[in-house]
Amino acid sequence: MSRLRIFRESDPATPEFASYDPDFIATELKKIGVTFERWKANKAIAPGAPPEEVIDAYRADIDRLVAERGFKTVDVVSIAPDNPQREAMRAKFLDEHYHKEDEVRFFVAGSGLFTLHVGDRIYEVECVQDDLIGVPDSTLHWFDMGPEPSFVAIRFFTEPDGWVGHFTGTTLAQQFPRYDGLTDGH
């Protein structure tokens, strides 16, 4: 289940607020310029389906987003718990960084934890199957796929280079909870 927790930057142990309501999550994130939507496939997708079938199952929403935001590239990434590069892949995203383009991800399957640093607040967004998150360019954030990552995501890019992170060098991300791939019982 999708989850939003909001912390004070100075208190990583105690969330000020938590919600599992997708409508409320979307409303709260919109206040800081972040898009949060829930999508449904227009047809069943078999496990291990090729990227073309995955994209085709969400074609209407993908086309709408591409038209609205001018994305030039859409692809599908799939990470399994037995990936031999999982530790290095996880480490790549764990430190606070930003991009010079929006970071937009749709979770076809599995989950991950986007954590956004806006002002003196930390917004922790657990994204699960059917969640789309759009983080505006220059927004400080980090992403944790967990120690045994398991997700399929559609990614959207405006630049041909795709994902380019600009790291801040702070240790803030290390002070906040890491993702274990499981919510707290919801």
- Give the Cα separation of 107 and 109 in Å (integer): 5
Confidence of residue 127 (pLDDT cuts 50, 70, 90): very high
Kindly tell me if the per-residue pLDDT of 183 is higher than 60: no
Give the chain's mean pLDDT. Answer: 93
Burial group, residue 113, by CB count within 10 angstroms (0-12, 13-18, 19+): buried
Q: Which H or E run includes 157?
A: strand 151-157
Average pLDDT, integer, range 66-89: 93
Number of CB atoms found within 10 A of residue 83's CB: 16
- Give the Cα separation of 27 and 169 in Å (integer): 31
Identify the bridge partners of residue 6 per DSSP, sorted by sequence position: 17, 123
Backbone angles phi, psi at 90, to 5 degrees: -65, -45
Residue 47's pLDDT is what?
Answer: 81
Q: What is the pLDDT of residues 151-179, one digit of tens each?
A: 999 999 998 776 788 999 999 999 999 99
Please give the structure tokens belonging to residue 97. 């960084």
- Give the Cα separation of 154 and 106 in Å (integer): 5
Q: Which CATH number fits domain 3-168: 1.10.10.10, 1.10.760.10, 2.60.120.10, 2.160.10.10?
A: 2.60.120.10
Q: What is the pLDDT of residues 11-37, one digit of tens each?
A: 999 999 999 999 999 999 999 999 999
Q: Which H or E run includes 172?
A: helix 172-175
Confidence of residue 182 (pLDDT cuts 50, 70, 90): low
